Amino acid sequence: MVTSHDIKGKRKLVIAVTGLNAIDSPGPGVAVIRAIRECSDFEVRIIGLSYEALEPGIYMHELVDKTYQIPYPSAGFESLLQRLIQIHQAEKLDLVIPNFDAELFSFIKLRKELENLGIRSFLPELEQFEARHKMILSKFGKKHQIMVPEDRIINHVTDLVKAVAELDYPLVVKGKFYDATIVNTLEGAQKAFYQLQAKWGLPVIAQKFINGTEINIAALGDGKGNTISVIPMRKLYITDKGKAWAGITIEDASYIELAKKFVKVTKWRGGCELEIMQTADGISYIMEVNPRFPAWIYLTAAAGQNQPATLVKMAMGEHVDPFQTYEVGKMFIRYSWDLITDVSEFQKISGEGEL
């Protein structure tokens, strides 16, 4: 079943990972690689897949053995497939772990083709992937009795008037893929609409504001409805982009149950992040579901449930029992580091598309 290469009795896996942009709004790739490398059950050769020549992970040679640039999702499935075939011919990939929301659709669509080439993945089905999309999340919540804030899909700026009347202020105006602004006036809502429309396209989402404590949950599902791992985290320091700069694992059975319910009803395969808002009266709302590992995923490894390494095992056909415990009070504090490289490396990835 396992197609990997054996070296000194330990499996050697060639794993391609995207999301190497460890910047102020970081992609999860570097954290995923760090967690995978920490697992002693297999040897790995990590192939980075990048979009931009300045993604820091490209130059982290202790983590990433080789990087290839791949085409943006907007270039279409076929050009991504052709590039992956080229890379596979050189590297004999066992597994690919995509980490960007915007590219997941393409990788899910190409799953069968990649499998036929011998490249595995561990991604949700298209139906699962679409069901949690922020544009239909409230419908999903109603269907499965999961608390989700009420929202309205805004296709035209005039739709905001009705949304405001129905949802009231403060109102959260959200982009199709990323970004959100809290507004208290119609003018503010209109400004946010135009900004988000320009950046991410239509539709824009108007969501009822929920006041509470923000909790994030990293979960890993086996695709059959079983939750293999759940780690809830409270952000301790949030950047102006809303990203966690520090966080801590917390203990609350209700979060674990919520994540298990989500994984069960969706039969989620792979990693995901639930963004939760818990109100003062203890109601947990799912604000958003990110269909991939979060950038703080290394904390799961530090807390005793190495989700990326476990995903690798499941993708390679190994049976994995659900984790039962984790360390509460395990913290992460992100930091910036000026990585030094040479223009020759930059030139190589920019000009030749590989490094």
Partner 1 sequence: MRFKKNIATSDTGFIFNPGSGDSFSSNSIGSEILAFFKEDKSRNEIIELICAKYDVEKNQLEKDLDDFFSQLRDHNLLDE
Question: Which residues are 354's β-sheet partners?
Answer: 68
**Residues 314 to 343: which contact partner 1 by CB under 8 A?**
328-329
Task: Report the nearest approach of partner 1 to the CB of residue 218 (Å).
Answer: 15
Pick the binder of partner 1 from 25, 82, 89, 213 (CB under 8 A).
213
Cβ proximity to partner 1, 136 vs 250, nearer residue: 250
The mark string for 218-257 relative to partner 1 (x by CB under 8 A, - otherwise) is ---------------xx-x----------xxxxxx-----
CA of 14: how far to CAs of 101, 115, 310, in Å?
23, 14, 15
Cβ proximity to partner 1, 137 vs 303, nearer residue: 303
Residue 83's identity, in one-letter code, is: R
Contacts of 243 (CB under 8 A, 6+ apart): 24, 25, 26, 295
Cβ proximity to partner 1, 37 vs 330, nearer residue: 330
Task: Report the nearest approach of partner 1 to the CB of residue 221 (Å).
Answer: 24
Cβ proximity to partner 1, 51 vs 296, nearer residue: 296
Residue 75 makes contact with partner 1 by CB under 8 A: no
Asked if 147 and 210 touch (Cβ cutoff 8 Å), the reply is no
Q: Extract long-range pairs of 137-143: CB within 8 Å, 24+ residues apart.
A: 137/286, 137/288, 137/289, 141/286
Task: Report the nearest approach of partner 1 to the CB of residue 5 (Å).
Answer: 42
Cβ proximity to partner 1, 170 vs 212, nearer residue: 212
Q: How many residues bind partner 1 (CB under 8 A)?
A: 12
CA of 327: how far to CAs of 32, 33, 137, 214, 251, in Å?
19, 21, 31, 20, 9
Provide the token pair at 295.
Answer: 């950038």
Helices (H) and strands (E) in the chain, counts: 12, 15
Cβ proximity to partner 1, 186 vs 246, nearer residue: 246
Provide the token pair at 179.
Answer: 């970004």
Task: Report the nearest approach of partner 1 to the CB of residue 280 (Å).
Answer: 9
Provide the token pair at 255.
Answer: 């979060």
Task: Report the nearest approach of partner 1 to the CB of residue 11 (Å).
Answer: 36
What residues line the site for partner 1 (CB under 8 A)? 213, 233-234, 236, 247-252, 328-329
